[in-house]
Amino acid sequence: MRITSASIQHHTLEFKFEAGTSRGTLKEKDTWYLKLFSESKLMGIGEAGPLKALSVEPLKYMETELQKVCEQLIGLEVPDSMDEVFEIARDAFPEGFPSIRFAIETALLDAMHGGKKMIFDTDFYRGKERIPINGLIWMGSKEFMQKQIQEKLDAGFDCIKMKIGAIDFETELKLLKSIRDKYSQNEITLRVDANGAFKPSEALEKLSELAKLDLHSIEQPIKAGKTDDMAFLCNKTPLPIALDEELIGIYRKARKIELLEEIQPQYIILKPSLLGGIQSTMEWIKIAESMNIGWWMTSMLESNIGLNAICQLASYLKVKMPQGLGTGQLYHNNIASPISIANGETFYNLNSKWGSI
């Protein structure tokens, strides 16, 4: 089957609340859908959803670059293997636009599987597998964060991830302690994400305070790019460290190896839209596992189109620990989908249908 036409569609996702991070507050998010057609039939769709102030790609050029991708894909035969998908995506990929490569790969894999939103043929897509996820606590006032914590606990989550670095550190410690006073680490796993909020000079002391609360890990305690400081922290830390923003903009395999050898983190966080797609994510995983570095995946606040692809990738990779894939309920105007959440797990609800795009 041949790709006879391709188009892009812009969509602005609207948050249900002001989502606070140490980099600022999010109220909306731009995303673009890459659609592939055979004659008039939609045969594949992928999402390019960069995140302002985090992604390397300039949002004002997204539409132009996606139009160029459409022109390259028109006339191609739908690939019949994942390797062929990756080869086409590499050729069509505009350098410096990692979320576009993710969209290309996803749209082609969807087309390869018949245009059914199946990216990988796994038990997750068939409604037979559930993936454990963490409940995400956004920054805000103490009262707002307490409310979120209670809602996640009431909803059955046994892994809670709290964003820290926006309000004062003592208040954040008290919020975490309020959970730990009620639940042991065997009952509730606690993760924190600093988004680079700590100063290198104060980071080790703060990590020591956090470690007293039996946390699972902390993501990106200091800003990315301070390789020596991060390597020192990962060597001395009493609390496992996960690299996140540190991986941005690194696409060559040799540089990936070099970075992980230099820093030697305990974990890495994988966001396919940020890292250059599915193939690049798989490469990070292979390198990390060769160095006994753990990993998990998270969405980058994509709509349900991108989230669906990442959930299916997680299933394909047979993940075990909780993933960061609970973001589908953040928006007023998300695309209706079968992706559902119950008791701290995400699953594909076969009784639900995809909405129109």
Please indicate whether residue 41 is annotated as part of the active site.
no
Strand (E) or helix (H) holding 331: none
C-alpha torsion angle, residues 61, 66, 69, 71 (rounded to 10): -100
Q: What is the DSSP pairing of strand 241-243 with strand 217-219?
A: parallel
Tokens of 19: 């989502």
Own/partner pairs for 228-236, CB < 8 Å, 24+ apart?
229/200, 229/203, 230/263, 230/265, 231/262, 231/263, 231/264, 233/200, 233/203, 233/204, 233/207, 234/263, 234/264, 234/265, 234/266, 235/264, 236/204
Tokens of 48: 């390019």
**Which residue in the list 29, 35, 117, 163 is annotated as catalytic?**
163
**Which residue in the list 29, 117, 256, 271 is annotated as catalytic?**
271
Looking up tokens 């302690």, which residue turns up? 177
**Three-state DSSP class for 40?**
coil
Please indicate whether residue 271 is annotated as part of the active site.
yes
Catalytically annotated residues: 163, 271
